[in-house]
Chain A
């Protein structure tokens, strides 16, 4: 596959795309502008110049999103085919891990364990990091537009993760959702939200700290429970007169919760209250009140985790499953390519398959996607994904660090009855919390950070 070197989109294409962006921009501007006077914004200048990335004249794979999926796709591609020109586009300046972050929130893990350098990842694995935000994709001409210019691709992997869907929490208004997001951020899209949540905890004097467990396949199923334990432990340790109110939409958590329940009963009886079967139907930000099926619930501070959806970029470039509320990517669940486009793939939490939305799953799946792409280059078929059983740990006590463990495998298996592939996930829980599992919990993350950013293993 030879790249059309130096040949970008034609002038006409640029004008066309820019026109589309202008329309979007105008719509956004109209709702946000104070005072109401709106003129259509000028098309972004970035569209007219080429991004500054090295061109090797070999096939280029562009990856959008430097999370647990995108980073691993990039690394694995270079391992499988070192001659590939791999460009990872990530808009954040620094990687900030969501896995392990609950320990950092309560001051039990240094920040340097969670943040890592995209420059390190790129130089240690020999790919290019383009520090830019993607604004559009022209799949017909295989061009990605970013705020740093455009670049062409032979294959494109989108790993943009999730966005929040406040509408399903009864907050359909975009400005109200934006306010909610800044006042009570969920802290499941890492970075500033997490830092804000940490500051909230540090400044918390007394009262109710509210957390929610949303419906659907939300990011990291045990995380809200882990977070409740961490915050309760922090309150206990610092003699704070407060408690965590965990509003869970489920009657039973969507995983085997025994070890976590046991920890809550043993350690946090006075600091965690769980109310199950709570459906959030609306949120009054000013009054710090949730409207629910069980009545109004007020709080002193909160991290409100709403349902998740596929990152908005999927919708913007026309590859979201618009017939489903999650708006996840419309891809072949076995081959991972966008329906009707075998050069564009989607991995990580933006996938529509009901795998756990968790770092280790995205990381393992990424290796599979990289092999699908290199196999396709070599004209070879690739079987369906079947992960081995892998560990995942949930911290239930921060000091001393104690965790419980889960072993999870996931994949797609052939179903004789239907002649198609069906999703299969198995999980096994190991409920005895221990210091040893606590150590394994840390090592679980550290060793994967090492792989993604440093090791040439």
Chain B
């Protein structure tokens, strides 16, 4: 991972990303490939804090969970929505359209997004979770069923590729591509599409990320099993706004 966004990382979709996107195509949706997809994304299984696999049925409705993907230090929100989330066309930071492939799981309602704000890079840490999903109508933003970043009140729609609904953000959160294995009901994170922000994220928070995740480990990609847990258990303060 270089500091500046490397054009070479804006590559053709690799196998896993293409496969995750193909689900949408198979469902009869027009699929526009993203200009950015993470190169060689890791495929990791989501597990609970005790190490047992996190099954789709175990994830509570309206879950506001967190896991780290694609790097050890980069948080992502895992959400189970009320309704199936169909593939949606959204635009990246350069205004280029791409298809968010929709929710996964038996009810097509499990989604995941980078918990790093597309406005000014606020993120969910152990101390504070600035980005959270809430079902109830949100007192400041007036929206319900949205992801809100409380640093400056950007509001994203998790049922529509994290499209911006309000606030200063100009483009969606990066989307973590999920895969659901029907036979075992397990969930896997397999890719990341949307807008590349990790170079800037590392640059902005290097000091604290190193401290929290290890001098070099913070920018290494995850592998194997990755723990997912409720944000309110992970963070000291999950900010409501």
Binding site for B on A (CB under 8 A): 360, 364, 387-391, 405, 407, 428, 430, 435-437, 439-440, 443-444, 447-448, 450-451, 454-457
User: In the complex, what residues of B have CB within 8 A of residue A451's CB?
Assistant: 120
Known: A430-B139, A439-B239. A389 touches B128 (CB 8 A): no
- CB–CB A360/B203 < 8 A: no
Nearest CB of B to A75, in Å: 12
Query: Which segment of B34-42, B147-155, B209-217 sits at the interface?
Result: B147-155
Binding site for A on B (CB under 8 A): 4, 117, 119-122, 127-128, 130, 139-141, 150-153, 166-168, 197, 199-200, 203-204, 237-241
Cα–Cα distance between A456 and B240 once the two chains are bound (Å): 29
Q: Are B128 and A436 in contact (CB under 8 A)?
A: yes
| A454, B241: Cα distance in complex, Å | 27
Q: In the complex, A214→B142 CA distance in Å?
A: 33
A391 contacts B203, CB within 8 Å? Answer: no
Q: List B contacts of A391 (CB < 8 A).
A: 140, 150-153, 241
Task: Assess the A448–B120 pair: CB atoms within 8 A.
Answer: yes
Q: Is the CB of B121 within 8 A of A430?
A: no
Q: A364-B168, A428-B140, A456-B200 are in contact. Are A390 and B153 (CB under 8 A)?
A: yes
Could you say which residues of chain A place their CB within 8 Å of the CB of B153?
Answer: 388-391, 407
Q: A435-B237, A447-B152 are in contact. List 15 more A-B contacts (CB 8 A).
A: A390-B152, A390-B153, A390-B168, A391-B153, A407-B140, A407-B141, A439-B127, A440-B150, A444-B151, A444-B152, A447-B117, A447-B122, A450-B121, A456-B199, A457-B120
How many inter-chain contacts with C-beta < 8 Å in the A-B complex? Answer: 84
Nearest neighbor of A392 in chain B, beta-carbon distance = B152
Q: Which residue of A lies closest to B128 (CB)?
A: A439
Q: State the majority secondary structure of interface residues on B.
A: loop
Q: How far is the CA of A439 from the CA of B139 in the complex (A)?
A: 18
CB-contact partner of A440 in B120, B166, B204, B241, under 8 A: B241
Contact B121 A447 (CB under 8 A): yes
Taking a contact as CB atoms under 8 Å apart, the answer to whether B151 and A440 are in contact is yes
**Cα-based distance from A456 to B200 in the complex (angstroms):** 7
| Cα(A364)–Cα(B122), bound, Å | 17
CB distance from B123 to the nearest CB of A (A): 9
Within the complex, the shortest CB–CB distance from B145 to chain A, in Å, comes to 18
Nearest CB of B to A419, in Å: 29
- A63 to B97: give the CA distance in the assembly, Å: 34
Can you report 23 residue pairs joining A to B where beta carbons are below 8 Å apart?
A360-B152, A388-B166, A389-B167, A390-B152, A390-B153, A391-B152, A391-B153, A391-B241, A430-B139, A436-B237, A436-B238, A436-B239, A443-B151, A447-B119, A447-B121, A447-B151, A450-B204, A454-B203, A454-B204, A455-B120, A455-B203, A456-B4, A456-B199
A360 to B167, CA, bound (A): 12
- Asked if A389 and B197 sit within 8 Å, CB to CB, the answer is no
Rounded to whole Å, the gap between the CB of A387 and the closest CB of chain B is 8
